[in-house]
Amino acid sequence: MLLYHNYIEQAISIMTTFIIAALTADGFIGKDTDHLADWTSKEDKVFFSEKSKKAGVLVLGHNTFKTIGKPLPDRLNIVYAPEGTVIEGVEVTQKEPKELIEDLESRGFTEVAIGGGSQIYTMFIKAGVVDTLYLTVEPVIFGAGINLFNEQIDVRLKLESEKKLNDNTILLEYKVL
C-alpha cells in the first residue's frame, strides 16, 4: 500500500502545476466575480499568454471563464463548471485537482497553468498540488475586492526569482516548500 502511495506521489510530481495571477499592489485579483482582468499590463498579458501556451493546458473557474467569454487559443482550456454545462471548445470538469492532474499527465501533459479565479486557486493550493506561483504585481490599488485565495491556508514559499516586466510591474516566482 505504501509503495502504491509512493508510486502515485511520484507520478503526480512529474507534473508541474503552477498558479499564474496578476495582483494589485494591495493584493487583489479583481474587484468582483465578474470583473474582467483588463487592468493588467501588456507585458503581463504577454507573459500569461506565453506561459500558458507553453504549458498547453489552462485551468479556469466558471466565473473567470465568463469574464473572458471564449476559449483562449492554442492551449487546452479546462473550465470548472456544474455538471451538464456545455461550452464550445472547452473541457468542462468537476474533478478533484489531483484527479485532474493525473488525467492530464496520462494524456502526456507535463505542465498545467492554473489561471484562477480565487475559488480555483484556493482549491488547487489546498489540494497540495501546486509547485510554483507566478505572481505579477501591478501598480494598481482596488482597496477592496477578490483575494488571491478565499480561505485560511498556511503555505510556505521560497522566492525563486524576481523580474521587472516594465518600469512599474514586477513578476515574482515562488516555489512551494
Ligand X SMILES: NC(=O)c1ccc[n+]([C@@H]2O[C@H](COP(=O)([O-])OP(=O)(O)OC[C@H]3O[C@@H](n4cnc5c(N)ncnc54)[C@H](OP(=O)(O)O)[C@@H]3O)[C@@H](O)[C@H]2O)c1
What are the start-end ranges of the H helices in 14-82? 42-55, 62-68
Is position 62 an interface residue for ligand X (rule: CB under 6 A)? yes
Supply the minimum distance, in Å, between the C-beta of residue 121 and ligand X.
Answer: 7
Stretch that binds ligand X, among 2-10, 80-88, 104-112, 166-174 (CB under 6 A): 80-88
Q: Give residue 11's region: left, alpha or beta (phi > 0; psi -120 to 50).
A: alpha
Answer yes or no: are the C-beta atoms of 138 and 41 closer than 8 Å: yes
Is position 77 an interface residue for ligand X (rule: CB under 6 A)? no
Give the three-class secondary structure for 170. strand
Single out the residue of 17, 30, 124, 130 in contact with ligand X (rule: CB under 6 A). Answer: 30
Q: Give residue 52's region: left, alpha or beta (phi > 0; psi -120 to 50).
A: alpha
Is position 120 an interface residue for ligand X (rule: CB under 6 A)? yes
**Cis preceding-peptide flag for 117 (omega within 30 of 0):** yes
Task: Pick between residue 6 and residue 70 the one whose CB is nearest to ligand X.
Answer: 70
Supply the minimum distance, in Å, between the C-beta of residue 75 and ligand X.
Answer: 15
Task: Pick between residue 41 and residue 119 the one whose CB is nearest to ligand X.
Answer: 119
Residue ranges binding ligand X (CB under 6 A): 21-22, 29-30, 32-33, 35-37, 61-64, 67, 80-82, 94, 115-120, 146
